[in-house]
Amino acid sequence: MGRAIGGVASAALLTLLMAPLAAIFLRAGGASLPGPADWAALRFTLLQAALSALFSVLLALPAARALARRRFRGRAALVALTGAPFILPVVVAVVGLLAVFGTQGLLNRAAAPLGLGPFRIYGLHGVVIAHVFFNMPLATRMILQGWQAIPAERFRLAAQLDLPPQMTFRLLEWPMLRQVIPGTLAAIFAICLASFAVALILGGGPKATTVELAIYQAFLFDFDLGRAAMLALMQTTLVAGAAVLALAVTRMDGSGAGLDRALPRWDAPGGWRRACDALVLAATALFLLAPVVSVALAGLTGLKDLPATIWPAMGNSILVSLASALTTTALALGLAAGMSRVIQAIGLLPLALSPLVLGTGYFLIVNPFLVPGTLAMPVTVLVNTLMALPFCLRMLAPAYERVESDYGRLADQLGLAGLARLRWLTLPRMKAPLGFCAGLAGALSMGDLGVITLFGAPGRETLPLLMYRLMGSYRTEAASAAGLILLLLSFGIFWAFDRGGHHA
Amino acid sequence: MLELTDVLIEQGDFRLSANWRLPAGRRAAVIGPSGAGKSTLLSAIAGFFPQASGQVLWDGRPLDGLRPGKRPVAMLFQDGNLLPHLDIFRNVALGISPALRLGAEDRARVEAALARVGLGGLDRRRPAELSGGQQSRAALARVLLQDRPLLLLDEPFAALGPALRFEMLDLVQALTEETGATLLMVSHDPADARRIAQDLVLVDAGTAHAPQPARAMLDNPPEALRRYLG
């Protein structure tokens, strides 16, 4: 039964992934080879991803170390804060970073009287700053997980032997870091390769265009579908290669079960090192909070400037988000029911395809028959579902296996099968992870600015797209207001589903 | 009647053979050292573990290929006999209808079964709100409603203290006498076997031996059983 459902779900998933890829292959066949601009996009993509990974990890190291060895009030909140960027809408964060680092931002206003600046955030360093904003917290979680995986007994021994901090580092911490850092670098590198919204807003131009952004430009500026297909192939090779690399070297997933559990440490050095740790953590919190708080404050004053189109955009976003939450959870549950390593590997395949690649493929499939814009919402739901699927499956598959190993025999013995088994065993036993997954998928979809830019037509806007258009017409206050609403909706839907899973 | 004809169970290097019958209505304890295959034998009869060769028959009808839920078998495991998210009423009602579609008559039968095992009035509690003994009683109430002619117990009372365990065994004996069910129960303790079992199935050295009268066997144990009893 479960096996059959898993088979059907994985067949459906393979079709949804392979059909757009096939369409791209067919279209790219007659297209030209990559030109100088395309190679430049490839170089920029690799460069920004490498720098983003490097700086994310460099900044994460002291923060993770401080979180690992200090005990203080608010530590759990700070750890939770490092999980927040995962569901923070990219457009909201970028508007927030502009408010802090932009031409009119806090940084420049503080620096101007000192005769410094003005600093500019557009171009390579802007893209890298935004990626570091999103991925430095992820790196912190992955490295902190490594720190907490060092047995407490070893630190007790180090304290007993009165090892100086350098020796503790050399004997206990460095061996762990040597294992954890490559995986963290690889994961962030892979994530940044597929970056679209950040490059769309902060990049652009011949010097700062990612491959993902070049696909979009091939569509919108040139309507050169052959070039878009060729770029999509280039991007797939890149992302798939990096995903394989990341999976191969990553040992920890950063999901961070139990990261807020404070293990006792006896070796934490005092004095200036203590002050440094406090400074690092304060700077980290400021870096993560300032942009979001800026958006929220600017948004409050901008609420009156919002156009009337905010209402249909909100409606569309909520519908897309709820639909994505439902389809992602259902598909992931179906795949989990297969209880097979092969099916779980198939569930990871979307990691190899970027949103705009899928969007290009679906566009090529739909274009001969329909005006693609009419399918803007369904395609957005579909791509959002595929993108959230690997994360949800990684959570649901072990949960499903546990339910089956704990109660499968009892259910078999009682003849509990089909829908009755789903209703009386699977759903109630899995409601917490299911709620978390639905919340995650809903929030990711709510904040997504991706394929909708390819398919979006007037009147078919989601909230992130409206926000982007408001920014494009320099209505910063209105964009911040839309950002504030988007922020509340994204975290609200996550909170509602997650809580629903715990209290249903 | 339960019949095992030339049954051979294989799992890696492990092999267990059985070739015997247990008449309907008898109560037999399965006894033997750990790892000898007592649980595996019950698993094979219940349909969780297909035997490599031979046949399991009930009343002359082969059970091979029947799913566990379709066999004339009710089984209680060492743990996880109740679904923790359902109340006791629903847990017990699963014995009548796995889809929990219950008519008024079914509800009355559930209430009666709960009353019979001494859990009247506790039907809205969840398993976690019951003591270990009460949880065992709830599982037995469900067995009563499943109304299967063969009952397999894989040490469901192992976590209970001796007094409570004897209480449960007495309840099992009373219930099987009322329903006429045949009982096959794994046991570690000869005292359990003396209390409830008429027959002993000794599992040792790759063989599940034919049932022998329990009292005579315990009073005058053969070599393999003496080694186990110490």
Whether residues B170 and B137 fall in one domain: no
Among the candidates B147, B171, B193, a domain finishes at B147
Q: Which of B147, B171, B199 is the last residue of a domain?
A: B147
For A448-494, how does the pLDDT look when each residue is reduced to its tens digit (9 = 90+)? 999 999 887 777 899 999 999 999 898 989 999 999 999 999 999 99
Average confidence (pLDDT) over A257-268: 61
Residue B124 lies in a domain: yes
Q: How many CB atoms lie within 10 A of CB A293?
A: 14
Q: Each residue of A97-110: pLDDT tens digit?
A: 998 988 778 888 88
pLDDT of residue B65: 86
A295 vs B80: CA distance, rounded Å: 51
> What's the DSSP call for residue A204?
B
For residue B117, tell me if it sits in a domain: yes
CB B102, CB B93: distance < 8 Å: yes
By Cβ distance, the residue of B46, B90, B99 closest to A413 is B46
pLDDT band, very low/low/confident/very high, at A504 (cuts 50, 70, 90): low
Domain membership flag for residue B11? no
Same domain, B132 and B185: no
Distance to chain A for B81, nearest Cα, Å: 6
pLDDT of residue A455: 85
* Same fold yes or no, A1-30+306-504 and A33-288: yes
pLDDT given for residue A31 in this prediction: 67
pTM of the model: 0.86
Q: Tell me how many domains chain B contains.
A: 2
Task: Write the pLDDT tens digit of every residue in A327-376.
Answer: 999 999 999 999 888 998 899 899 889 999 999 999 999 988 988 888 89
pLDDT value, residue A457: 74
Interface test with A, best of B94, B97, B142 (most A CBs within 10 A): B94
Q: How far apart are CA A171 and CA B5, in angstroms?
A: 63
Final residue of a domain: which of B147, B167, B197?
B147
Scanning A402-431 for CB atoms below 8 A from B yields: 406-407, 409-410, 412-417, 419-421, 423-425, 428-429
Tell me, yes or no, whether B124 and B190 share the same domain: no
Q: Distances from the Cα of A315 to the Cαs of A137, A167, A486, B100, in angstroms?
A: 31, 58, 12, 38
User: A428 contacts in B (CB within 8 Å)?
Assistant: 83, 85-86
The rounded distance, in Å, linking the Cα atoms of A411 and B68 is 9
For chain A, how are helix, strand and coil distributed in percent, rounded to 5?
80, 0, 20
Q: What is the pLDDT of residue B184?
A: 97
Could you state, in order of their start, the residue ranges of all structural domains in chain A?
1-30+306-504, 33-288
Q: Is the confidence at residue B3, as pLDDT, over 80?
A: yes
A35 touches chain B (CB under 8 A): no
Least confident range from A8-22, A106-120, B32-46: namely: A106-120
The chain A residue lying nearest B70, using CA atoms, is A415
Angstrom CA distances, B132 to A172, B81, B136, B159, stand at: 45, 11, 6, 8
Tens digit of pLDDT for each residue in B17-39? 999 999 999 999 999 998 899 99
pLDDT at A156: 77
Task: Indicate yes or no: CB of A412 within 8 angstroms of CB of B75.
Answer: no
Closest Cβ–Cβ partner in A414, A417, A419 for B94 = A414
> What is the tens place of the pLDDT at every residue in B48-88?
989 999 999 999 999 988 989 899 999 999 988 999 999 99
Is A503 an interface residue toward B (CB < 8 Å)? no
CATH number, position B189: 3.40.50.300
Cα-Cα-Cα-Cα torsion A203, A209, A211, A212, nearest 10 degrees, comes to 30
Give percent of chain A with pLDDT exceeding 70: 95
Q: Specify if B2 maps to a domain.
A: no
At A36 the three-state DSSP class reads helix
Residue B11 pairs in a beta bridge with: B14
B184 found inside a domain: yes
Same domain, B188 and B229: yes
Predicted pLDDT at A435: 96
Q: Is the pLDDT of residue A254 over 60?
A: no
Write out the H or E segment, with its range, that includes residue B74.
Answer: strand B73-76
Nearest-by-CA chain A residue for B100: A420
User: In this structure, is residue B137 part of a structural domain?
Assistant: yes
What average pLDDT does range B159-166 have in this prediction? 91
Indicate whether B211 belongs to any domain: yes
Range of the domain at B131: 83-147
B120 shares a domain with B98:
yes
* Paired tokens of A209: 């265009």
Which ipTM value was assigned to this complex?
0.84
CATH architecture of A1-30+306-504: Orthogonal Bundle (1.10)
- How far is Cα A347 from Cα A362, in angstroms, rounded to an integer? 19
* Nearest CB to B67 within list A407, A412, A423: A412
Question: Based on the domain organization, do B133 and B159 belong to the same domain?
Answer: no
CATH number of A33-288: 1.10.3720.10
Q: Do A413 and B67 touch (CB under 8 A)?
A: no
Per-residue model confidence as pLDDT tens digits over A46-95: 999 999 999 999 999 999 999 988 888 999 999 999 999 999 999 999 99
Instruction: Provide the sign of the torsion angle of the four alpha carbons B64, B65, B68, B73, taken in this order.
Output: negative
Interface test with A, best of B42, B85, B126 (most A CBs within 10 A): B85
Q: A118 pLDDT band (50/70/90 cuts)?
A: confident
At residue B9, the 3 state secondary structure works out as strand
Q: Which of B83, B151, B153 should we substitute to test contact with A (largest number of A Cβ atoms within 10 Å)?
A: B83
Q: Does B121 reside within a domain? A: yes
For residue A262, the model assigns a pLDDT of 58
The band of A114, judged by pLDDT with boundaries at 50, 70 and 90, is confident
Dihedral angle sign, alpha carbons of residues B7, B13, B14, B15: positive
